[in-house]
Every structure is written in C-alpha cells, then in structure tokens.
Amino acid sequence: METVEKIKQQIAENPILIYMKGSPKLPSCGFSAQAAQALMSCGEQFAFVDILQNPDIRAELPKYADWPTFPQLWVEGELVGGCDIILEMYQQGELQPLVKEAAERAKDAEQGE
C-alpha cells in the first residue's frame, strides 16, 4: 500500500488520531508529550501513530496535510493542528467537547445507530 493511501486509511478508520513522535505513554519529544497529555485528559480513547517508527509517514504526511510539523491531531478526518493549537484549544475548553463528540459519534456508528 502506498504511504498516502495508508495515511488516508488511518485517518478514515480512527475518529481521533494523533501523529506524534513516540507514544502517548512514552513520547519522544516535548511537543508530542504536551499534545498527548492534553488529549489524554479529555478522557476518550484515541489512536496514535509513532512517526519515528514510520519514516514513510513522517516523510509524506506533512505534504499530504499541508502542515509541516508534528504532532498532528486529526479528528473525524479533519486536521485540527499541532501542539500549540491543541494546547490552546484545551486551555479554552474547546478540545474536550470536540474529542468527546467525535468519540460518541464513533460509538454510535459502531452500534449501527
């Protein structure tokens, strides 16, 4: 599968997805750590892709997303942004409802409602 196809599939299959360096429990950079922490404090499950383990995605995603840096948060197929945007949204109380509603819609879809 081509890298861009893999990226599209990951974004389509995961309502809440963060591309980051490392994992939420073991982040490999401060920006990824802060972004994952904000996301975890929203209390919903989310998927992640460690771009350090996926150099192909690390190379292609910035071009696909038209966003040069990591982490990148994607919610329901839309790029939300990077670390600064994630933290700002979290501090202003905008990230929590966005994540919660996406998680609820995903659960409803799974149950076929």
84 is in an annotated binding site: yes
**The domain that contains 84 carries what CATH number?**
3.40.30.10
Total tally of structural domains belonging to the chain: 1
Q: What is the pTM of this model?
A: 0.95
| Residue 111: inside a domain | no
Determine if residue 21 is labeled as part of a ligand binding site: yes
- Assess if residue 55 is contained within a domain: yes
What's the confidence (pLDDT) of residue 1?
Answer: 78
113 within some domain: no
Cβ–Cβ < 8 Å for 29, 77:
no
Give pLDDT tens digits along the chain (113 positions). Answer: 799 999 999 999 999 999 999 999 999 999 999 999 999 999 999 999 999 999 999 999 999 999 999 999 999 999 999 999 999 999 999 999 999 999 999 999 888 75
* Assigned domain for 112 exists: no
**Domain membership of residue 25 as a residue range:** 3-105
Asked if residues 9 and 17 have their Cβ atoms less than 8 Å apart, the reply is no
Q: Is 83 annotated as a binding residue?
A: yes
Say whether 42 counts as a known binding-site residue: no
What does the pLDDT read at residue 41? Answer: 97
